[in-house]
Amino acid sequence: MTTQNTKNLWSAAQACLGATGSLSVIMPAYGLETVIERNIETVCRLLEGNIPFEVLPVDDGSRDGTATAIRRAAARDPDHVHPVFVQVNAGKGNALKCGFAAARGSHILLLDADLDLDPVRITTFFDIMAEKQAAIVIGSKRHPDSVIDYPWHRRLSSAVYYTIVRLLIGLPISDTQTGMKLFTREALAWSFERMLVKTFAFDLEVLSIAHAQGYKVAEAPIEMHFGEKVGCLSWTNVKQVMIDTLAIFYRLRILRYYDSVEIVPPPEKPLFVSVVIACPGPSPYLTECLEALALQTYPHFEVLVLPDAPCDLGPTPFALHVIPTGKIRPAEKRNTGIQQARGEVVAFLDDDAYPVPAWIEQAIKYFTLPDVGGVGGPGVTPPGDPFLGQASGRVYANPLVSGNYRHRYLGDRVRASIDDFPSCNLFVRTDVLRAIGGYRTDFWPGEDTILCADIAIGQKRRIIYDPWVQVFHHRRPLFGPHLRQIGRYALHRGYFAKRFPATSLRISYLIPTFFVLGLVVGAVLACLHPWLRIAYFAVLAFYMLITFLSSVSLSPARWLVTWLGVMATHVVYGVRFAQGLLSRRMPCEVAAFDHPSETMAND
């Protein structure tokens, strides 16, 4: 092709970008060790000399050598290749959002890194964007000019899903799931700031949000060679897609949630953040946590680690301060961190938790609002945790266990104001912390409940929940360690129900105790009359049925263990809450507790 023809081919792209614009190509990758390096080079060769661009390959927690291959590609072309690394595989939607947080282009191309979609069609996408005056151009397998090599069963599933989407959402497009989409930065930012889905149906949510706002969406032909995809059309994936699709419909058409999301721009002057980690000493979990902090997209932070004794944690790309404290409670360690913090905001992070790359960047923007005192996000169970640790996470996330507080363990909608949140993932203004005197040190656990009440009620500052301010939090395994931890939480919650009723005397916390009381009283009454016995066992059978169904899993072992864990959690929480409610004092008020990480291996 002649130079003149090449210029003509890219003329629409150059016109769309204008004199100052550029294209950011975000390429989510998982398990692509053998091809990712070559594919990055292919995209760079295609774009180089034609338009200003950057390529952002996002390694989504691959377990092979994908990250290493991406680093090699970046080392060869550092001017154009700007990699992003997500420590744990958390879904394509999450990977793309992490990539977008690092992107600087005026236009964004989302492109599957396996290149089963030929990037040569980029020029066609820009042609259609210019011709249709569209803010979004998506590749469509159903476009009459598309050339696709696609298995029949995927064609069938695509057609069925398209029909469901048309009925529920009403999008005027024929394909939402193809992995090549071109956006103006404004349109993608609007959608990403409101997006909640992190896995399979994120495409639908992004397009639904943008279309509802009035951004024009056009379709473009693609060239597709299906190849050997890493993903698979499993029943688990299909189930999750349908759950997410129904949730999008509910938020879009019933709640009108996307219209009400409070969008906050980043601060004009970067705020400095002090990350405070209370711990007994070095551990594999702490190393994992520090490695995740090294991947943060927000550069203005320091880390204060507060172990019992002096230790060497090695070199880090951020300012790291090790402050030995002696053997004291986590609340006392955190208070020392507050005193030593140089940041305008303190971020509390447990040593057995680690954040996603955009953790600080997503949270810090809310502190431009003067009425915001704190920001929290979910502590999600890491996918690599052992079986019984995963089961513990499933119990915590069960709707019949955590109820209205599931957002602490799973990503949920943004909440404009909460008044109780754990310190494993909590950002607070430094001046607010110092005004209230930091944490109460006479309680463990429960000190974070008092802190949040002091912020929300005492200081009249909002605490915002954002699902993208996410950390992965390791769980204690079922049954013994999990139930002992639940028992401690319940004991203090019961005591706090009378000592600090504003945030602890709530019906949801009382239900397990009523359940246990019903078990005991019902068993006594069942001995008095046959009909009472029938009623008692009928209610018990109904309870076992709904807990059984709420624990559903394709794995029989996971289903059974989760079900038993849910029922055991109800009983232990109910008994220990009642014990706390009847107690005059808590044991921690007269005797010190050691840090939970010290006994995690054996507890």
- Is pLDDT at 229 greater than 70 in this prediction? no
What is the pLDDT at residue 231? 46
pLDDT band at 54 (very low <50, low <70, confident <90, very high): very high
User: Average pLDDT, stretch 291-310?
Assistant: 94
- Mean model confidence pLDDT for the chain: 88
How large is the angle between the packed helices 556-582 and 480-499, nearest 10 degrees? 30
List beta partners, residue 110: 26, 181
Distance CA 337, CA 134 (A): 50
Give the tokens for residue 248: 């999008």
* Residue of 408 and 147 predicted with greater confidence: 408
Distance CA 333, CA 351 (A): 12
Domain with CATH 3.90.550.10 in the chain: 11-260
Entry pTM: 0.81
- Is pLDDT at 6 greater than 60 in this prediction? no
What phi and psi, each to the nearest 5 degrees, are found at residue 163? Answer: -65, -45
- Is pLDDT at 316 greater than 60 in this prediction? yes
Exposed/middle/buried for 245, CB within 10 Å: 0-12, 13-18, 19+? buried
- Is pLDDT at 601 greater than 60 in this prediction? no
User: Average pLDDT, stretch 228-245?
Assistant: 63
What is the per-residue pLDDT across 74-108, written as a single tens digit (0 to 9) for each?
Answer: 999 999 999 999 877 777 888 888 899 889 999 99
User: Average pLDDT, stretch 317-326?
Assistant: 95
Q: How far is CA 23 from CA 106, 180, 467, 484, in A?
A: 6, 14, 28, 53
What is the pLDDT at residue 7? 60
User: Average pLDDT, stretch 46-64?
Assistant: 93
- Is pLDDT at 595 greater than 50 in this prediction? no
Question: Count of alpha carbons within 13 Å of 459, Cβ hemisphere only?
Answer: 27
What is the per-residue pLDDT across 543-555, written as a single tens digit (0 to 9) for each?
Answer: 999 999 999 988 8
353-355 and 471-473 beta bridge pairing: antiparallel
- Is pLDDT at 225 greater than 60 in this prediction? yes
What is the pLDDT at residue 383? 84
- Is pLDDT at 592 greater than 60 in this prediction? no
* Residue of 225 and 487 predicted with greater confidence: 487
Residue whose C-alpha is closest to residue 317's, from 347, 345, 296: 296
What is the pLDDT at residue 591? 62
What is the per-residue pLDDT across 349-387, written as a single tens digit (0 to 9) for each?
Answer: 999 999 988 899 999 999 999 999 999 999 999 988 999
In this structure, which CATH number among 3.90.550.10, 3.40.50.300, 3.40.80.10, 3.40.50.2300 belongs to the domain 11-260? 3.90.550.10
What is the pLDDT at residue 557? 95
The percentage of the chain sitting over the pLDDT mark of 90, rounded to a whole number, equals 65
What is the pLDDT at residue 239? 72
What is the pLDDT at residue 405? 92
What is the pLDDT at residue 597? 47
Tell me the CA end-to-end span of the chain in Å, nearest whole number. Answer: 69
* Residue of 111 and 603 predicted with greater confidence: 111
What is the pLDDT at residue 43? 95
Q: Which residues contact 179 (CB under 8 A, 6 or more apart)?
A: 110, 111, 112, 116, 117, 139
